[in-house]
């Protein structure tokens, strides 16, 4: 059995030295003593060997003078530290990726456009395409809505006159109802796309202006210095 000294609190250096110096103890022979902690980090015992039930806990090793020579973190603390290191590495990798992506986007922006006016022209062309699609969808919705209103009127007329609604007529109402909903959803989607397009090109324009200003800055400063 290892020689141990249970603690209510940390032993003083003198008490530790006295424990190490006890004749016949393994600590006296090795000139060292190890103290182990519980899960809360409190020292609960010292001796020449850590008991099996505390093997995964934090420890502190001291020499014959009671001077700490080595500390070992608990297995739980080791796992927690490694998790933090892995999280930090993932964050760094993600940040690096974002920086690289931004550089690529900036390069493409500068190589694609010569000035802000070209950005505006590209935006207008893209919006024009969407406007044409919206015009076609709106026309289709108008026709479908007309068929829907007519079919629904026939169904409601039969129902009011207590006449059975023919299955083909009811099926047609279901079909034109679904078609009408599809056109309405498509129009809403195109309108959202149009608004997102405006925002995207506004961001392009702003970033382009910033990049050109940063490029002109050093040149302007250099020209001013030469004067």
- Output 110 or 56, whichever has higher pLDDT: 110
Q: Which range among 57-66, 113-122, 169-178 shows the weakest confidence by mean pLDDT?
A: 57-66
- How does pLDDT run across 87-101, given as a tens digit for each residue? 777 777 888 888 888
pLDDT class of 223 with cuts at 50, 70, 90:
very low
- How does pLDDT run across 137-189, given as a tens digit for each residue? 999 999 999 999 999 999 999 999 999 999 999 999 999 999 999 999 999 99
Topology of domain 114-211 in CATH is Helix Hairpins (1.10.287)
Q: Please classify residue 82 by burial: count the beta carbons closer than 10 Å to its beta carbon, then call 0-12 exposed, 13-18 middle and 19+ buried.
A: exposed
Distance CA 77, CA 57 (A): 9
Give Cα 166 distance to the centre of its chain: 56
Distance CA 155, CA 108 (A): 58
Whether the predicted pLDDT of 221 surpasses 50: no
- How does pLDDT run across 3-58, given as a tens digit for each residue? 444 443 344 444 554 554 444 444 444 567 888 888 777 888 888 788 888 878 88
The domain ranges of the chain are 13-72, 78-112, 114-211
Helix 167-226 / helix 75-112 crossing angle, nearest 10 deg: 80
Give Cα 155 distance to the centre of its chain: 53
Q: How many CB atoms lie within 10 A of CB 37?
A: 19
Q: What average pLDDT does range 55-66 have in this prediction? A: 79
Q: What average pLDDT does range 59-77 have in this prediction? A: 77
Whether the model clears a pTM of 0.75, i.e. scores above it, the answer is no
- Output 121 or 47, whichever has higher pLDDT: 121
């Amino acid at each position: 059995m290892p020689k141990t000294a249970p603690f209510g609190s940390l032993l003083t250096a003198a008490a530790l030295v006295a424990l190490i110096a006890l004749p016949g103890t393994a600590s006296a022979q090795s000139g060292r003593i190890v103290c182990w902690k519980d899960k809360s980090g409190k020292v609960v015992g010292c001796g020449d060997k850590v008991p099996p039930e505390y093997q995964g806990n934090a420890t502190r090793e001291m020499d014959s003078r009671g001077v700490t020579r080595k500390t070992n973190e608990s297995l739980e603390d080791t796992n927690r530290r490694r998790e933090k290191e892995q999280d930090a590495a993932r964050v760094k990798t993600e940040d690096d990726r974002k920086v690289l992506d931004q550089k690529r986007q900036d390069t493409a922006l500068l190589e694609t456009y010569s000035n802000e006016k070209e950005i505006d022209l590209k935006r207008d062309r893209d919006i024009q395409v969407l406007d044409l699609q919206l015009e076609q969808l709106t026309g289709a919705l108008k026709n479908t809505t007309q068929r829907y209103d007519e079919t629904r009127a026939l169904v409601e007329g039969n129902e009011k006159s207590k006449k059975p609604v023919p299955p083909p007529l009811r099926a047609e109402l279901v079909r034109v109802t679904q078609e009408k909903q599809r056109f309405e959803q498509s129009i809403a989607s195109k309108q959202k796309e149009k608004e997102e397009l405006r925002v995207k090109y506004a961001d392009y324009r702003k970033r382009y202006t910033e990049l050109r200003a940063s490029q002109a800055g050093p040149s302007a400063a250099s020209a001013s210095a030469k004067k």
